Amino acid sequence: MALDELAAAGRDGVRFGPLGDRWMHVCVDMQRMFVEATPWRAAWMPRVLPLVETLVAAAPERTMFTRFVPPRAAEDLPGTWQRYYRRWPEMTLEHLDAGLVELVPELARFAPPARVFDKRVYSPWTGQAFAQELARLGVDTLVISGTETEVCVLATVLGAIDLGYRVIIASDAVCLSADPTHDAMQEIYHSRFGMQVETAPVEEIMRCIR
């Protein structure tokens, strides 16, 4: 799917009015291990990175980066996570170059003032620090970008919905490696979460935050 088609997928636009001054950009897991040669490489990431960078550069002080941090070994996490990491043992910190957990250089340069929150699971909401920081800052609207559309981005979106945040997904600044599931998630956001999720291309979001 070309970038203009990705933008077209955000057909609903920012339809519930101005963002106001209580918004935050949550940039999900834009890390080296998803763009470099690992089993988890997200092929689209280089294509959406310039658009993600545009959002971050517009207001780095309003950006929260999340990072998905693998355990040292499969046994360090409970339940089915152990099966998960036995499937990908090379992605545990026993074997993975720790530098690959870092944000990609194009985005790392913005932190600080951007904030970085680490997580061991798909969702950033499982610990208290992420939600508490948003509450402390008085945030009511989240602009979401990053990887991957139907995993960590989805987990971030669903948690935000549950907590009542206004959610705006940057439709051309989210990515994964498979067109069918990306397209399916875009349709689900429209058809099932239409009152709680807006999808819009970065260009439109930039006009709104200016």
Per-residue pLDDT at 195: 81
Per-residue pLDDT averaged across 161-186, rounded? 82
Per-residue pLDDT at 3: 42
- Model confidence at 179, pLDDT cuts 50, 70, 90, reads low
Query: Is residue 67 within a helix (H) or strand (E), and if so which, with residue range?
Result: strand 63-68
Per-residue pLDDT averaged across 162-183, rounded? 83
Per-residue pLDDT at 145: 97
C-alpha–C-alpha distance, residues 32 and 48, integer Å: 14
Per-residue pLDDT at 209: 86
Three-state DSSP at 119 gives: strand
- Model confidence at 43, pLDDT cuts 50, 70, 90, reads confident
Distances 195 to 50, 161, 192 between C-alpha atoms, Å:
29, 10, 8
Residue-averaged pLDDT of the chain? 89
- Model confidence at 196, pLDDT cuts 50, 70, 90, reads confident
What are the tokens at 28? 């999900």
Stated length of the chain: 210
Per-residue pLDDT at 131: 95
C-alpha–C-alpha distance, residues 149 and 177, integer Å: 9
- Model confidence at 5, pLDDT cuts 50, 70, 90, reads very low
% the chain with pLDDT above 70: 89
Per-residue pLDDT at 1: 40
Q: Which of 38-47, 67-76, 112-121, 179-188 has the lowest mean pLDDT?
A: 179-188
What are the structural domains of the chain? 3-72+103-209 (3.40.50.850)
pLDDT at 210 over 80: no
Per-residue pLDDT averaged across 27-41, rounded? 95
Cβ neighbours of residue 109 closer than 8 Å, sequence gap 6 or more: none
Instruction: Name the DSSP class of 170.
Output: E
Question: Which has the closest alpha carbon to 68: 105, 102, 95?
Answer: 102
Are the C-beta atoms of 110 and 30 separated by less than 8 Å? no
